[in-house]
Amino acid sequence: MTQYRLKNEKDSSEEQNNSKIWGGRFSSSSNKLMEEFNSSIQFDKKLYKQDIEASIVHAEMLCKQKIISEKDFKLIKTGLNKIKTEISNNNFTFSIKLEDIHMNIENRLVDLIGDAGKKLHTGRSRNDQVATDIKLWLRDSIDQIEINLKLLQKTLMDKSELYYDMLMPGYTHLQVAQPVTFGHHLLAYVEMLGRDRGRLTDCRKRLNELPLGSAALAGTSYPIDRDFVSKKLGFDKPTKNSMDGVSDRDFAVEFMSAASLIAIHLSRLAEELVIWSSDRFNFIKLPESFTTGSSIMPQKRNPDAAELIRAKPGRIFGNMLSLMTVLKGLPMTYGKDMQEDKEPIFDTARTIQMCIVNMDGMIKGLQPIPNNMIEALQKGFPTATDLADYLVINLDIPFRDAHHLTGRIVLLAEEKDCTLESLSLKDIQKIIPEADNKILDVLKIQNSVSSRNSYGGTAPKNVLKAAREAKKRFLKD
């Protein structure tokens, strides 16, 4: 099994036990298997920047409150900044015996500055410390995810403006339903991602309360200033209840829920990219940089990036279920069970970031093939609904009867192996004797699209206006 050691770490049982910050209560060392099982340093070392940032502010507050001396604070700050540099430059050796990032940093601090380092943990516990670190880390991650979602929205809006009048089939049940524009289709995902950004904003707002100062669970008798720490670390306020402060992981579940919806939306778009780029549809050409070849079939260009994005929701859903299962039966306040929160959080944030960035690259580089879109439209009788509506409005035929008559005309076009636009007036008059030349205009695809000018509709003028308005709504910052 992998061993993690600090430089010059000793091996005797007594020295192993004494190296633990909590070791005074114990007379024998931990079982080596237990050490590995209990340790989280393998993954929570990712929190080192947040842990050091919060520790410096905590020490500054202790100094301000006269709990530690200014000299000790300066030593602590200098030591922590040195540790941050060591870790950033991969010059820090993590020890599994010290369990987690907090104890690894504190142990190294004592090595560097002596007894002053032992004063850093005054007025806090690892319980409120880790809750603070995770919130700081997740807050930064949410900010970056939100930025990347915004960039993806911009890419979609740019494409929507460019292709605001490009005709393509709109589908229900994956069958041609009515004509839409390619720009209108892409704008649907802009709205989805807008809601996703709103959920992340809400999640960030709720998580932005400072747990530090809750100590183990009951607060502390030291005269600390939680408002000072909260303001310095960019939190809106301290948590109101010390027990809730250390035990709350709602924010993590809420983040995973928001990430799950993002993953669903990206997966839906990914599926459409897979379909559209297939040789049966051939509506778009994906950029080569986001496709791969086959090991035995040289003609293949596989949409692997899109397929992976389509698959990733399962991973993210699993992370959320994993954390909810850990939390669902825990009594107040902290239990070691909660160590299981970090890996799902880290993995979810990384996975959703990769999905967003890869989707942005695919959308930027895709090229539509408009002739194939039009050909698919013509095969699907997409103006049938327009014909039924025309019969209702202009010939005063009840909709159910108009629906039936239109179905007979579609059947006629199928028998003649032609599009609705190709039918002659005589063909139509066999079924609707009172029809005149005006009915032929209704069957034209371009006229159908242009007529969908209701608010939120697919008329090209609407789409262009909607794309520009979306940029004002979503890109204003």
Catalytic center residues: 173, 294
**370 vs 8, 41, 374, 467, CA distance in Å?**
68, 54, 6, 20
Tokens of 194: 């807008």
Which residues are CB-contacts of 195 (< 8 A; sequence separation ≥ 6)? 261
Q: Output the CA torsion sign for 257, 259, 265, 270.
A: negative
Residue 31 carries which DSSP code? P
Q: Which residue has the tokens 């922590």?
A: 80
Q: Enter the tokens of residue 475.
A: 């890109």
Q: Using only C-alpha atoms, what is the Rg of the chain?
A: 31
Q: Nearest 5°: phi and psi at 292? A: -135, 170
End-to-end CA distance of the chain: 50
**Size of the chain, expressed as the number of residues it contains:** 477
Helix 250-277 to helix 342-365 angle, to the nearest 10 degrees? 30
DSSP-based three-state secondary structure for 208: coil
| Element containing residue 71 per DSSP (H, E) | helix 70-88
Whether residue 85 is preceded by a cis peptide bond, meaning omega within 30 degrees of 0, is no
3-state SS track over 300-335: CCECHHHHHHHHHHHHHHHHHHHHHHHHCCCCCCCC
Neighbours of 4 (CB within 10 A): 18
CB–CB of 31/13 below 8 Å?
Answer: no
- Which tokens hold the place of 403? 């629906």
CB 29 within 8 A of CB 78: no
Task: Write out the H or E segment, with its range, that includes residue 340.
Answer: none
Q: Considering Cα of 169, then 172, then 173, then 177, what sign does the dihedral take?
A: negative
How far, in Å, CA of 168 to CA of 185, rounded? Answer: 9
3-state helix, strand, coil in the chain (%, to 5): 65, 5, 30
Q: Locate the DSSP E strands across 124-252.
A: 167-172, 175-181, 209-210, 237-238
Interatomic CA distance for residues 258 and 254, integer angstroms = 6
